[in-house]
Amino acid sequence: MKEYSKHVVIVGGGFAGINLAQSLYNNPEFKVTVVDQNNYNFFPPLLYQVATGFLETSNISFPFRKLFQGKRNTFYRMGELQKIVPDQKKIVLSTGEVDYDYLVLATGTETNFFGMENVKKNAMPMKTINDAIEMRNYLLQVAEQATRSTDLIQRKRLGAIVIAGGGPTGVEISGMLAEMQKYIFAKDYPELRGAEIKIYLIDSSPTLLPPMSKKSQQYTYDTLVKSGVVVKLNTQVKDYVDNAVILGNGEKIETRILIWAAGVTSKVFEGIPKESYGRGRRLIVDEHNKVTGVDAIYAIGDTSIQTTDANFPEGHPQLAQVAIQQGKLLAKNLKAQLHQKPLKAFAYNDKGSMAIIRRNKAVADLPGSLFFRGFIAWAMWLFIHLLSLINYRNRLKTLYNWTAAYFTRDQSLRMIIRPSKRE
């Protein structure tokens, strides 16, 4: 077995972790082990299209072991991180222990239910492939139940969909469901013709897409309202009891479907001192993404907060581009550190932000105060996201599905598929 100078263990195979691993491919000085509880990488920005049946899971995911084929220094370990032992430089997984020279935490975020147990128990989050498949199955099951119901109150409850969260995920799901309501539901479910289907988008902020420009926010709001979405801003979800979403103003919305896209929080790791955590439980890192208060442990992407960048004194936004850039720079710094060369401080190169709303409708804010909307922004969004998929197979399959859906205003992936239950 070849002896490497350093063993880099990366926990999390998302944007940050994979870009770090790819930047160290076949480097004879580093052994790289990617740890993830799933055996595949997936592309979170397109989860909502899996949830609404426009893409297959294989379009946006790819197995780690297939990805690392031929990479002589890169390995995969399936398991969930349970504990870090910094003084012994090892981590404890659900599947055993792994020693490291450098530990990199790139675990992203998890859904934040803000302490509301009923919402946590009954709402549908949108963070993982499992969430997306569960949502697709549930939406289709509720639609089938609605076709059989003769109770008017029950039908109204089954015909209401509430999305909590006015960020990109909430906006994209709302727009997609509005498209489906207009072009698909009537064809698929003739029993529901004439039935009222209401889509609610609720957010506690005064605007949709808070990080984006006012032009993007207003265009998004107007487009969704014209599409039939009921948008409620400055409104909080307080509870979800007996199939009713309870709002902060006392209003109740009877519904069987609450989609939760209202917030995220980072994970807490046993073995990392409390002083190392900042806002949103994000790990506080220095300009080189090293976690404060511990040795040889780094954090990149959404799970870290870095206040050393002059342009982002409150920390970087939790975006894919931040994670990608941090992963690539950390690889360079690890190489430089090994050879006792100067390290480079991280400075985020903001390439802008985009959000798709519905067919032919999107918004894009680019550097230099450039603003695009409508079809141009929609085409830009498709192009950027297509290129961002991890390999050519995913890109070709996704392009095929998008092309078919565009010209037919339909797709054929509306199957309720559940694995059999085994002891």
**Can you read off the two tokens belonging to residue 160?**
């209401």
Decide: 275 and 283 in contact? Cβ < 8 Å: no
**Can you read off the two tokens belonging to residue 35?**
């740890």
Cα separations in angstroms, 313 against 105, 230, 301 = 22, 36, 16
The C-alpha atoms of residue 56 and residue 412 are separated, in whole angstroms, by 10
| Domains in the chain: ranges and CATH | 6-111+265-338 (3.50.50.60), 117-262 (3.50.50.100)
> pLDDT at position 3, please?
77
The C-alpha atoms of residue 390 and residue 22 are separated, in whole angstroms, by 11
* Angle, vertex CA 319, rays to CA 313 and CA 320, nearest 5: 130
> pLDDT at position 423, please?
42
Show the low-confidence residues of the chain (pLDDT under 70). 1-2, 419-423
Q: If you write DSSP's letter for every residue of 261-320 in order, what string do you get?
A: -S-EEE---TTS-GGGB-GGGPEEE-TT-BBTTSSSEEE-GGGEEE---TT-TT---S-H
**Can you read off the two tokens belonging to residue 273?**
């001192």
> pLDDT at position 13, please?
96
The C-alpha atoms of residue 414 and residue 411 are separated, in whole angstroms, by 8
Query: Sign of dihedral through CA atoms 18, 130, 355, 359?
Result: positive
Count other Cβ atoms within 10 Å, centred on residue 374.
Answer: 15
- Find, among 276, 321, 319, 317, the residue nearest to 299 by Cα: 276
Please write the tens of the pLDDT for every residue from 136-165.
999 999 989 988 888 877 777 888 999 999
- Find, among 223, 213, 176, the residue nearest to 354 by Cα: 213
What pairing do the DSSP bridges indicate for beta strands 61-63 and 40-42?
antiparallel
Helix (H/G/I), strand (E/B), else coil: 212: coil
Q: Where are the beta strands (DSSP E) in 86-225?
A: 90-93, 96-99, 102-105, 109-111, 124-125, 160-164, 198-202
- Find, among 113, 211, 108, the residue nearest to 164 by Cα: 113
> pLDDT at position 179, please?
92
Query: Sign of dihedral through CA atoms 213, 218, 219, 224?
Result: positive
Q: Where are the beta strands (DSSP E) in 117-166?
A: 124-125, 160-164
> pLDDT at position 2, please?
64
> pLDDT at position 151, please?
80
> pLDDT at position 265, please?
93
The C-alpha atoms of residue 162 and residue 102 are separated, in whole angstroms, by 44
The C-alpha atoms of residue 63 and residue 231 are separated, in whole angstroms, by 38
Output b/e per residue, 170-192; b: 16+ Cβ within 10 A. Answer: bbbbbbbbbbbbeebbeeeeeeb
Query: Sign of dihedral through CA atoms 289, 291, 297, 301?
Result: negative
